[in-house]
Structures are given as structure tokens and as C-alpha cells.
Homo-oligomer: A and B are copies of this chain.
Amino acid sequence: MSFNTFGHMFRVTTFGESHGVALGCVVDGCPPRIPLTVEEIQRDLDRRRPGQSRFTTQRQEADQVKILSGVMETDAGQVTTGTPIALMIENTDQRSKDYSEIKDKFRPGHADYTYEAKYGLRDYRGGGRSSARETAARVAAGAVARKIIPDVKVRAALVQMGPHKIDRAAWDWDEIGRNPFFCPDKAKAEFFADYLDDIRKKGSSIGAVIEVVAEGVPAGLGAPIYGKLDSDLASALMSINAVKGVEIGAGFGAAELHGEDNADEMRMGNNGPVFLSNHAGGILGGISTGQAVVARFAVKPTSSILTPRRTIDKSGTDTDIMTKGRHDPCVGIRAVPVGEAMVACVIADHLLRHRGQVGF
């Protein structure tokens, strides 16, 4: 029933609005005696932090995380205790902005109308709970998750912006950290710089596709039928703000394939079974195969744009709205570390769930 919790053994509960005192999360179920420093969490948060290039919102949030509980100092350094790890990020950039424009009007593409329809009120300041700022808590939780699965490397990349896809032959993970788009294709990243500048200057926005790859996932994680690894990944990724689609491995492309092309053949390798392709995205029957787990998700364009759009207000009167402010021209960019975090959390959860039922 939990509206703001995900995971089973490794559980994350987040709280906070964009303009409240603080936001954060409680990470429950973390194994004990795992080394964990605040710097490790901060490092991931800094990758998501806005204002680091002209391609993300200029809102300035320090996003300094505090560990409120769940760790203790030992001879081996700071470690988890097995009790809930509460992480808090105080909101600092709450400039006393003029909200009169959006207070009573519903911004198209935003959750304004639906929150109002559901709750009979909404926190219009910065989007309230529906703000992408909540994803900072996910990234913090993901940093904890990574410590539980040290042998799993979870990385994500922006593989498409607008209609422009990267050249997969040019994929270089090292490029991810060298451009402001988390793009693994150097040439395409250079193209995106101009492309997005143009969109930004026009006050428009654009969508994107992100790919998350988890290497080192052991075979056997996930579980039939409603605890499938891909089912949980789909839920986790679809819950990220602005995401409209999720696919695993060949994904929607699998619809166009014949059986003999789609099913990944196997051969015995030196270190166990080897698959000759990975259309499955590392998951068969909801359970990991030992291959890389590959998931992609589509992010819609930021709805806050500088073009006036038709809408209505709370009294039901037709009107127009133009949402000024500091927004991301491509909100998909900052979704990259968020996608990584969600996949890390899901895999950590399934590792513990598997160990619980089956042992090792």
C-alpha cells in the first residue's frame, strides 16, 4: 500500500517537497557491517545536482546530504548497523518566488491538475511533491544500494535525444563523464551541445532515451511471477518523473523479430554458460541470466516551456499559461544518475530476497 516506499528486503521510503524544510529517505533492510561514508553518497548526488552546465536548470541546490541514523564508527571505519539509514537533504534555494501565475492555473503536462483532482489541494511551490527534486533521495538511496552489490557495476547513458540516436559502435563508457549529457558517443555529444542550445534558446524542450546497464549481476536474481526482476525494474524506472516507457533488452524491437533471431543461443564457456547474444537484456522468465541486465527508458520533454499554452484555472475558466523559471531543456539528462540509482536499488533488493529464499 505504501505510496512512497519501494523495495521489499531493501526498502526505500522517500519524503519531502521541493520547497519544504528538507527532503530525504529512510533506507531499511540494509545488511550490517557495510562500510558507508557520507562522501560516497554525496559523490552520486553531485552527479545529479542541477546547475552544473547550461543544459540543466540553473536552480542552485547544494544538495548536501546528512546521515541521520543507521551507521556507527568502528575500527574498520564507519559501517552500517542493520538499522534504518535516514538520509536528509535540506532545501536551501527556496527563493521567495512569485507563484501567482501557477497558483491557480494548471500547467499542461504537469501534475497540477491531477494532484488537485486527487487531493483537493496541491503544493504549487516548485511542483511540491511532484518535483523532480524528489529524485535526489533516490540517488542517495542508490548510493547505499551500490555498497550492497560491490561486484555489480551499474552505469547509465543517454542514448537518444529527440530523434537523434547515438552510434552504438562508438560507445565509450569513459565519454560519459566528459560531456554534460552522460553521452557515450563523443561525436553525438558534440552534436547534442548545439542541438540542445538551440532548443534551450527557443524556450523549448526535448525528450530523451536513457539506457542502464548492470554488469556482474549473478544468474538467479528475480523471481516468478509478480516478483520478476524486469517487472520490478519497469516499476522502478516508470516511477521516475517524466518517464513514459521502459523496455528490457530488445524491448519494443522484439515485436519485430522472429523466434529464431530473438532467442539467445548458448554455448559452454570457460567460466560457465555463455550466451551468443543478449536480446533478453539479461533476464529470462523474470530471473537474471548472468548476462548484463539492460534496461532503457523514455523521458518526455520538460513541460515547463516559454511558449504560452492553453489551459484552465481552478475556477474552470479558460486561460493561457507560460511557465517561466529555471528549467531543464532536456530533463532526461539528469535522469541518467537517477536511472542508475533505481536499478541499483532493485538489484540490491533482489539479491537480499534471493538470499532469503534460496540462500547461497
Q: In the docked arrangement, what's the CA distance between A318 and B117, Å?
A: 46
**Shortest beta-carbon distance from A283 to chain B in Å:** 8
Chief secondary structure at chain A's binding surface? mixed
- Interchain CB contact under 8 A, A1 and B353: yes
**Given A24-B86, A83-B4, A289-B113, is A255 in contact with B123 using a C-beta cutoff of 8 Å?**
no
With known contacts A4-B226, A6-B226, A280-B109, A118–B305 Cβ distance under 8 A: no
Q: Does A317 contact B (CB under 8 A)?
A: yes
A268-313 contacts to B (CB < 8 Å): 268, 272-273, 276, 279-281, 283-290, 298-305, 307, 309-312
Binds B, one of A166-174, A185-193, A217-225: A217-225
Cβ contact within 8 Å between B163 and A263: no
When chains A and B are docked, how far (Å) is the Cα of A336 from the Cα of B299? 26
A81 within 8 A of B: yes
Cβ of A136 under 8 Å from chain B: no
Cβ-neighbour of A74 out of B2, B113, B121 (below 8 A): B121
Chain A positions 155-204 with a Cβ under 8 Å from a chain B Cβ: 160-163, 199, 204
Nearest CB on B from A116, distance (A) = 9
Q: A101-130 interface mask toward B, CB cutoff 8 Å, 1 = contact, 0 = none?
A: 000001111110111011111110100111
Question: Chain B nearest CB: distance from A89 CB in Å?
Answer: 10
Per a CB cutoff under 8 Å, which of B113, B225, B252 touches A266? B113
Residues of B within 8 A of A233 (CB): 238
Q: Which of B11, B67, B206 contacts A2 (CB 8 A)?
A: B11
